[in-house]
Amino acid sequence: MKINNSVSVLSLLLGSFFALPARVASGQSGDGSGANLLPNPSFEASVTIDTDARSISYSPMIFGGFLEHFGHQVYGGVFEPGSPLSDKAGFRRDVIAALKELKVPVVRWPGGCYVSGYHWEAGVGKDRKPTDDMAWGVIEPNTFGTQEYVQLCHLLGWQPYICNNAGNGTVEEMKNWVEYCNGYTGKYAQMRKDNGTDQPLNVNIWSIGNENWGQHEIGYKPIEQWAPLVLEAAKAMKDADPQIQLTAAALPNREWTLPLLKAAGPYLSYISIHSYWLPLWGKNDMPDYLTCIMHSESPEQLIANYVGVLEESGYRGRIKIAFDEWNLRGWHHEGFPRKTVQNYSDPEVIRLVAAREKNDIASQYSMADALFSASFFNACLRHAEDVGMANIAPIVNTRGPLYVHPKGIVKRTHFHAMAMYANELEARVGKLTLEAASLSQGDRKIPVMDAIATVDESGHQWSIALVNRHPDKSLACTINMKDSPLDGNFQALVLAGDSPDAYNDIEHPDRVVPLKTMLTLTKGVIQLPPHSLTIVKVPAAAPTKAP
CB 477 within 8 A of CB 42: no
Query: Does the pLDDT of residue 200 top 70, yes or no?
Result: yes
Quickly count helices (H) and strands (E) in the chain.
Answer: 12, 27
3-class secondary structure, 235: helix
Q: How far is CA 232 from CA 173, 177, 222, 251, 270, in A?
A: 12, 15, 16, 20, 17
- 386 inside domain: yes
- pLDDT tens per residue across span 269-304: 999 999 999 999 999 999 999 999 999 999 999 999
Q: What is the pLDDT of residue 36?
A: 40
- 390 inside domain: yes
Q: Measure the CA–CA gap between 223 and 116, rounded to whole angstroms.
A: 17
pLDDT, average across residues 189-216: 97
- pLDDT tens per residue across span 439-455: 999 999 999 999 999 99
CB 268 within 8 A of CB 321: no
CB 271 within 8 A of CB 252: no
227 & 191 share domain: yes
CB 175 within 8 A of CB 236: yes
Q: Measure the CA–CA gap between 240 and 218, rounded to whole angstroms.
A: 25
CB 502 within 8 A of CB 413: yes
Q: Measure the CA–CA gap between 299 and 20, rounded to whole angstroms.
A: 33
Query: Does the pLDDT of residue 203 top 60, yes or no?
Result: yes
Q: Measure the CA–CA gap between 323 and 273, rounded to whole angstroms.
A: 5
- Length, in residues, of the chain: 547
Q: What is the pLDDT of residue 420?
A: 98
Last residue of a domain, which of 424, 439, 467? 424
**Spacing of C-alpha 342 from chain mean position:** 31
Q: Measure the CA–CA gap between 474 and 293, rounded to whole angstroms.
A: 16
* DSSP state for residue 153 in the 8-state scheme: H
Q: What is the pLDDT of residue 544?
A: 52
41 & 176 share domain: no
pLDDT, average across residues 69-73: 98
Helix, strand, coil distribution of the chain in percent, nearest 5: 30, 30, 40
237 & 278 share domain: yes
3-class secondary structure, 432: strand
187 & 245 share domain: yes
CB 393 within 8 A of CB 327: yes
Q: What is the pLDDT of residue 483?
A: 87
185 & 321 share domain: yes
Q: What is the pLDDT of residue 542?
A: 60
* Confidence bin at 540 (pLDDT 50/70/90): confident
- 1 inside domain: no
Q: What is the per-residue DSSP string for 493-538?
A: EEEE-SSTT----SS-TTSS--EEEEEEEBTTEEEEPSSEEEEEEE
* b/e map 9-48, b = 16+ CB within 10 Å: ebeeebeebbeeeeeebebebeeeeebbbeeeeebbbbbb
pLDDT, average across residues 43-64: 95
Burial label for 254, CB within 10 Å (0-12, 13-18, 19+), is middle
- 105 inside domain: yes
- 544 inside domain: no
Residues 6+ apart with CB under 8 A from 64: 104, 105, 106, 107, 108, 161, 324, 389, 390, 391, 392
- pLDDT tens per residue across span 335-347: 999 999 999 999 9
240 & 376 share domain: yes
Please count the structural domains in the chain.
2
Strand ranges inside 8-117, DSSP E: 37-38, 44-50, 56-57, 64-66, 106-109
* Confidence bin at 24 (pLDDT 50/70/90): very low
270 & 407 share domain: yes
Q: What is the pLDDT of residue 16?
A: 46
21 & 163 share domain: no
CB 231 within 8 A of CB 187: no
Higher pLDDT, 14 or 457: 457
32 & 76 share domain: no
Query: Does the pLDDT of residue 3 top 90, yes or no?
Result: no
Q: What is the pLDDT of residue 14?
A: 53
* b/e map 450-475, b = 16+ CB within 10 Å: bbbbbbeeeeebbbbbbbbbbbebbb
Q: What is the pLDDT of residue 1?
A: 33
pLDDT, average across residues 122-146: 97
Q: What is the pLDDT of residue 431?
A: 97
Nearest by Cα to 65 from 115, 101, 94, 93: 101
- 502 inside domain: yes
- pLDDT tens per residue across span 81-104: 999 999 999 999 999 999 999 999
- pLDDT tens per residue across span 152-185: 999 999 999 999 999 999 999 999 999 999 999 9
* DSSP state for residue 24 in the 8-state scheme: P
Look up the CATH number of the domain holding residue 145: 3.20.20.80
pLDDT, average across residues 211-216: 97
Please give, one letter per residue, the 3-state secondary structure of 467-500: EECCCCCCEEEEEEECCEEECEEEEEEEEECCCC
> What does pTM read for this prediction?
0.93
Q: Measure the CA–CA gap between 93 and 83, rounded to whole angstroms.
A: 10
Give the range of the structural domain holding residue 458, as residue numbers without chain letter. 6-57+427-538
Last residue of a domain, which of 397, 424, 451? 424
* Confidence bin at 351 (pLDDT 50/70/90): very high
386 & 411 share domain: yes
- pLDDT tens per residue across span 370-395: 999 999 999 999 999 999 999 999 99
162 pairs with which residues across the strands?
A: 109, 206
CA triple 390-249-255, angle to 5 deg: 110
- 345 inside domain: yes
Last residue of a domain, which of 404, 424, 444? 424
Query: Does the pLDDT of residue 41 top 50, yes or no?
Result: no
Q: What is the pLDDT of residue 543?
A: 56
Percent of the chain with pLDDT over 70: 91
- 547 inside domain: no
Look up the CATH number of the domain holding residue 526: 2.60.40.1180
* Confidence bin at 37 (pLDDT 50/70/90): very low
372 & 292 share domain: yes
Work out the end-to-end distance of the chain between its first and last CA atoms, rounded to an integer number of angstroms.
47
- pLDDT tens per residue across span 503-518: 999 999 999 999 999 9
Average confidence score pLDDT of the chain: 92
CB 351 within 8 A of CB 276: no
Percent of the chain with pLDDT over 90: 90
Q: How far is CA 236 from CA 185, 207, 244, 247, 266, in A?
A: 16, 13, 12, 14, 14
Is beta strand 475-481 parallel, antiparallel or unpaired with respect to 462-468?
A: unpaired
Query: Does the pLDDT of residue 428 top 90, yes or no?
Result: yes
371 & 440 share domain: no
Rounded to 10°, the helix 298-313/367-382 angle is 30
Query: Does the pLDDT of residue 31 top 80, yes or no?
Result: no
